[in-house]
Amino acid sequence: MLLWFAGGSLVLVFHVFRSPALDYRWIVLGAVLPVSEALLGGPRLLHTLLGSVVVLGVVMLATRRHRLLRRQLLGLPIGLFVHLVLDGIWMRSRVFWWPFLGWSFGSDQVPELTRGWFALVLELAGAAALWWTWRAFGLADPGRRGAFLRTGQLVPVDAPRRR
């Protein structure tokens, strides 16, 4: 279940922040990274609010006096926060509020693996979001695609060009 988080994070963050300086590569990484907790048998730190806050704190502290690096790395905790929203993990209070409601994560699987047929609907929505991103940012153009792969920045096709 990666398309839902990759596409959803791109569209959501673009529409919320509208910042040309964000590195969307880090946002996508942050949004899909918690899915890897399926290998651990269930949701863990990356599915908690505390986990996202700690990553944000580490980025802020580690990048003092390095504004450019901070601007890039801030995408990671932003992506983690977006994952929490797109995952609906707040409905599992014991995980979302860990450790404030107890030290156990419970024995549940990660939410991504428990949705049954609805996971297909979400993946299709994620694919549609990725298609929208491809079109809205002109990523069919090799120059624009190369710039995104180098910098992580997305500039809408209809945006005025800077001189």
pLDDT digits (tens, 9 = 90+) for 109-133: 888 888 889 999 999 999 999 999 9
pLDDT in tens, 11-30: 999 999 988 789 999 999 99
What pLDDT does residue 160 have?
A: 66
SS3 labels along the chain: CCHHHHHHHHHHHHHHHCCCCCCHHHHHHHHHHHHHHHHHCCCCHHHCHHHHHHHHHHHHHHCCCCHHHHHHHCHHHHHHHHHHHHHCHHHCHHHHCCCCCCCCCCCCCCHHHCCCCHHHHHHHHHHHHHHHHHHHCCCCCHHHHHHHHHHCCCCCCCCCCCC
* pTM higher than the cut 0.95: no
According to the model, what pLDDT value does residue 143 have? 94
% of the chain residues with pLDDT over 70: 97
